Amino acid sequence: MTKRSLDGHEKKLQKILDKVGVVWEEFCSIYPDEGACWFALFDALTANNALFCRSCNSRAVQFSPLSRSTRCESCCRVTWLTAGTVFHGARKLRPWMAAIWLFEHDIKISSSGFSFLLQIAQSSALNMYKSLFFVVNSEGKQDATEASSSQFLQIFNKRSLETLSWQHPVTEEPLPDGNLPESHGADSKTNTTPTASASRQEASAGSESTVGARILELLIGGEKTFDEICRHTDFKTAEINEALTLLELDSKIVSLVGGKFGLACGEPFRWSPDSSETAHKESGSSFSADLQQSVDSFCQLIKQEFHGISRKTVALYAALKQLPLSCEKLEKITSSRLLGACLFREPVGKDKIRLFVSPQFFPFVSEPAPVHT
């Protein structure tokens, strides 16, 4: 690793540490390694009366720290300590405990930052986040009201399995009549509409991160030169050249004066502060000042920490408004309500996360709007 890379690595780490602050120091002090976290899980299972034999239901079990399993004194059945919990199958428990600790202390950083902090894969961190969001949402919506996904258009800038090829992620949002926009799949050349299954197959093959899709996203913001496109992407020059050629052949973009490129299919959708309110009014719904205040603060958080999300997952990320679940400051993670909920939930699994699609209306925790005097 070069000196420049090391400097960049240290700056990124310091930026994350500045966010998590003393809360992270406390966690590292109490739970410095995997062993401490496994003992914490054992204590939590005991405190929540969730430690028993999965075969005969006997509570006479012994914990083996080395094998991270329990042995029933009645039937001699050996069971993983994580069996029957959200953590089932987890090889490393400390990242899970760290995520719960930070959430319960109202610290919300991106999965990318979290993966950097814990030195785990970003995909693993994202899977942990979404699994915990499932648990939070299943705990019930205290003081929740109904929000429409149309109120969150400003943060829909990441593609998902629901995003059709060459379309901006915001086109996933249904129209007031429940249908998708015409641009959500109308093929100008063949006059056919791609099926959802076809779009999913295309997405699963990697269309989410294709060079062409990234270029189209850039051009939504305005015309760009070749050099500007290169600066804003991580792709090789040859790949960008090839993608630009294909996009021109497909009549998706046009070459302009001054070496610039622009979209060829008219004016794309652009979010404005009134867009979500207009869409919501067209659907025949209304929302309170308290709800709008909560939506605005949520969108600000998503922009600042996550740099946007997909429409597909917005109802999952709404769990952030319910965190922390614990009302009092945690001295130990064993008293965490979120951890307690995880002990009585089956593992969410990647398939459930992949297939989840946010409904048009979902519960959302609102907060009192400020009173101006």
Domain ranges of the chain: 3-138
Q: State residue 198's pLDDT score.
A: 43
User: What pLDDT was estimated at residue 372?
Assistant: 40
Sheet holding 78-80, edge to edge: 61-64, 69-72, 78-80
Cα dist. 8→5, 12, 14 in Å?
5, 6, 10
Note the pLDDT of residue 232. Answer: 84
Residues 6+ apart with CB under 8 A from 145: 287, 288, 290, 291, 363, 364, 365, 366
Q: Which two tokens stand for residue 58?
A: 């006997």
Tokens of 222: 């305005």
* 78-80 vs 69-72, strand pairing mode: antiparallel
Instruction: Cis check for the bond before 324: say yes or no (omega within 30 of 0).
Output: yes
pLDDT of residue 289: 79
Each residue's pLDDT tens digit, 54-97:
889 899 999 988 888 999 999 999 999 999 899 998 999 999 99
Q: CA distances (Å), 119 to each of 9, 13, 133, 152, in order?
A: 12, 11, 21, 32
Q: What is the pLDDT along the chain (373 residues), one digit of tens a residue?
A: 555 555 677 888 888 999 999 999 999 999 999 999 999 999 999 999 999 888 898 999 999 888 889 999 999 999 999 998 999 989 999 999 999 999 999 999 999 999 999 999 999 999 999 999 999 998 866 677 889 999 999 999 998 988 887 788 888 887 655 555 554 444 433 333 344 444 434 433 333 347 888 888 788 767 889 988 988 888 888 888 888 888 887 777 888 777 888 887 544 444 444 445 555 554 445 567 788 889 999 999 999 999 999 999 999 999 999 999 888 888 899 999 999 999 999 899 889 999 999 999 998 988 754 444 3
pLDDT at 185: 42
Three-state SS sequence of 256-301: ECCCEEEECCCCCCCCCCCHHHHHHHHCCCCCCHHHHHHHHHHHHH
Q: In this predicted structure, what is the pLDDT of residue 204?
A: 35
